[in-house]
């Protein structure tokens, strides 16, 4: 059996088109142009590429993009002062602080300074608490994208056995909360889990968010399961260059799984699409409007 390949790039593109349509309606009917401020401190080349990609996605959707590029030597106080200005700015509906931050800055202090209503990364403890208690929240973009991909295969996740490998605050934990909200039966595995292959073999839905190249073998997968691979690792390729791989041994897994995301081209493009979706959601919530229908 060869798995259906879940084309995250195409699904994200379709989502971005729908977000652009909903944004145009919001602007026309309510005079609101959603705005996203992206704050980058320092000049990490990978972060610069990511920020440029996000800014383009924002403007392509008919939103405003406000880029703030600060020097590597920026103090925590200076960064917090900028966040407070953005919190007060009515044209800014979403604030995204690119991580990692330089050593002199405590990321938790900075992320906690973002207005929870503008926290499009969904990292603020208020949003984490709202998600955990089933209230309207801005939820982290990568797990949000994972759920949207899983629902392309299973329109209802209710009653399915879901296993999430990884328990980080930005992926594993919020993903588990989102799956619970979808009525899946959820197991969260991590580095101390005993007999991880056996735990994974229970999963109708297997999510890998570890960061260890091709750790999940084909034999760990229940035949016909849906596999969503969040991991990104750079490894040496056959041609002497490097290549990106996920946490799942794709060539083996696609022979056993029912559906699987590739790396690259799976979860990654969905993360960006969900940043702009969260910006739209934040803009609607700030005006007291219901959730946009996408």
Residues that bind ligand NAP (CB under 6 A): 142, 165-168, 170-172, 189-193, 196, 209-212, 230-233, 267-268, 271
Q: Is 13 a catalytic residue?
A: no
How near is the Cβ of 270 to ligand NAP at its closest, in Å?
Answer: 7
Active site residue: 119, 121, 204, 229, which one?
A: 121
How near is the Cβ of 143 to ligand NAP at its closest, in Å?
Answer: 9
> SS3 of 233, please?
strand
Q: Is 98 a catalytic residue?
A: yes
Using the structure block, give the residue that is written with the tokens 């996920």.
246
Residue 101 has which token pair?
């931050």
Active site residue: 98, 119, 177, 254, which one?
A: 98
How near is the Cβ of 233 to ligand NAP at its closest, in Å?
Answer: 6
Residue 39's DSSP bridge partners are: 68, 97
How near is the Cβ of 193 to ligand NAP at its closest, in Å?
Answer: 6
The C-alpha torsion from 159 through 164 and 170 to 174, rounded to 10°, is 20
Q: Is 276 in contact with 16 (CB distance < 8 Å)?
A: yes
Q: Is 8 in contact with 149 (CB distance < 8 Å)?
A: yes
H or E element in which residue 83 lies: helix 76-88
Residue 63 or 272 with smaller CB distance to ligand NAP: 272
How near is the Cβ of 31 to ligand NAP at its closest, in Å?
Answer: 33
Residue 142 has which token pair?
């990568």
> SS3 of 159, please?
coil
Residue 92 or 147 with smaller CB distance to ligand NAP: 147
Cα atoms in the Cβ-side hemisphere of radius 13 Å centred on 107: 12
Q: What is the CB neighbour count within 10 angstroms for residue 104?
A: 12
Q: Is 54 a catalytic residue?
A: yes
Residue 187 or 193 with smaller CB distance to ligand NAP: 193
Residue 74 or 187 with smaller CB distance to ligand NAP: 187
Residue 100 or 159 with smaller CB distance to ligand NAP: 100
Q: Which residues are catalytic?
A: 54, 98, 121
């Amino acid at each position: 059996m060869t798995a259906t390949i879940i084309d995250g790039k195409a699904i994200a593109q379709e989502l971005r088109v729908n977000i652009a349509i909903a944004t145009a309606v919001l602007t026309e009917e309510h005079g609101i142009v959603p705005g996203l401020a992206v704050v980058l401190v320092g000049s990490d080349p990978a972060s610069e590429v990511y920020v440029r990609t996000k800014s383009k996605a924002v403007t392509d959707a008919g939103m405003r993009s406000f880029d703030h590029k600060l020097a590597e030597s920026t103090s925590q106080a200076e960064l917090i002062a900028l966040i407070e200005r953005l919190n007060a700015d009515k044209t800014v509906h979403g604030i995204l602080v690119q991580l990692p931050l330089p050593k002199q800055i405590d990321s938790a202090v900075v992320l906690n300074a973002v207005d929870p209503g503008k926290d499009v990364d969904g990292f603020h403890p208020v949003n984490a608490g709202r998600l955990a208690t089933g209230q309207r929240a801005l939820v982290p973009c990568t797990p949000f994208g994972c759920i949207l991909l899983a629902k392309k295969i299973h329109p209802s996740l209710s009653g399915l056995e879901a296993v999430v490998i990884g328990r980080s605050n930005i992926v594993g934990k919020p993903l588990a909360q989102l799956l619970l909200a979808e009525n899946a039966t959820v197991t969260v595995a991590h580095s101390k889990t005993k007999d991880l292959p056996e735990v994974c073999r229970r999963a109708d839905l297997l999510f890998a968010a570890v960061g260890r190249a091709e750790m999940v073998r084909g034999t760990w997968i229940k035949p016909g399961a849906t596999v969503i691979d969040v991991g990104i690792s750079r490894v040496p390729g056959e041609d002497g260059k490097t290549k990106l791989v996920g946490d799942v041994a794709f060539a083996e897994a696609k022979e056993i799984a029912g559906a699987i995301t590739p790396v690259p081209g799976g979860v990654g493009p969905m993360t960006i699409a969900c940043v702009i979706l969260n910006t739209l959601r934040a803009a609607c919530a700030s005006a007291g409007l219901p959730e946009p229908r996408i």
